[in-house]
Amino acid sequence: MYRDRKVVVVMPAYNAAKTLRRTYDEVIAQPVVDLVIVVDDGSHDDTVAIARTLARTQVEIHPRNLGYGANQKTAYRLALAAGADIVIMVHPDYQYTPRLIPAMVCLIGDGLYPCVLGSRILGGYARRGGMPWWRYLGNRALTLAENLLLGSKLSEFHTGYRAYARTLLERLPLERNSNDFVFDNQILAEILWIGETIAEVSCPTRYFEEASGISFQRSIVYGFGCLWTGVRYRLARLGLARSPLFPRPPARC
């Protein structure tokens, strides 16, 4: 715990057998972590068998692959049901270092921010960590476009390392979001819509053969989904269209 606040780490897993235990070992070594929740999204490897051997870990299984967004919906629902006050999402592919968890927890637990992102861009870690050049350029271009559409100043919208306050998650219409990868983008747009601040910390990353990633084709689909989310946000803010993702009048910037 951190100042009597329960900290739950959620790991949305899909074919993560080769890296799950390494990620878990670093997660559970952080003294603030109370519980780990692994949600397996229809893996075809030994992800579930390995997850069931991990101490202080709750395992949930989707009998078939429902999508990355659907995985997160299940994970956050279970974390809140378990009494989490602070929820950290970290991918079990060992790309992001779990050693940043205490810092992210402090920023939320001390009441400074309701959401903290681990940014691969701050500090120049993305390319140094091995991010493919086409993914890096896409990340930068999409982030620029999204900042313009959403009126934000984030260094990165596409990190898989995030921390949320319980009170924030409870305010968001998560079930209305996509079950696919664009879920990540939609949740940040919803946070900005209600006028909350998103903090970022610089995060070293690792890219290697076992690390997860989506194909170039899926990246294109994801990119257009992010842009469409930004357009819907802008139209809703201007009062020109309504969206279930942005159901109430926006908070003043």
- Name the residue ranges covered by the structural domains of the chain: 7-237
Whole-number Å distance between alpha carbons of 196 and 177: 18
pLDDT of residue 133: 75
pLDDT at 5: 96
- Calpha distance 201→180 (Å, rounded): 25
Token pair belonging to 52 = 């069931």
Phi-psi map region of 250: left, alpha, beta (phi>0 left; psi -120 to 50 alpha)? beta
Q: Compute CA distances 93 → 102, 105, 126, 237, whole Å.
A: 20, 21, 16, 37
User: Going by CATH, does the domain composed of 7-237 fall within 3.10.20.30?
Assistant: no
Asked whether the beta carbons of 86 and 178 are under 8 A apart, the reply is no
Listed as ranges, residues in the chain with pLDDT below 50 are none
Output the pLDDT for position 213: 58
Q: What is the pTM (predicted TM-score) of this model?
A: 0.92
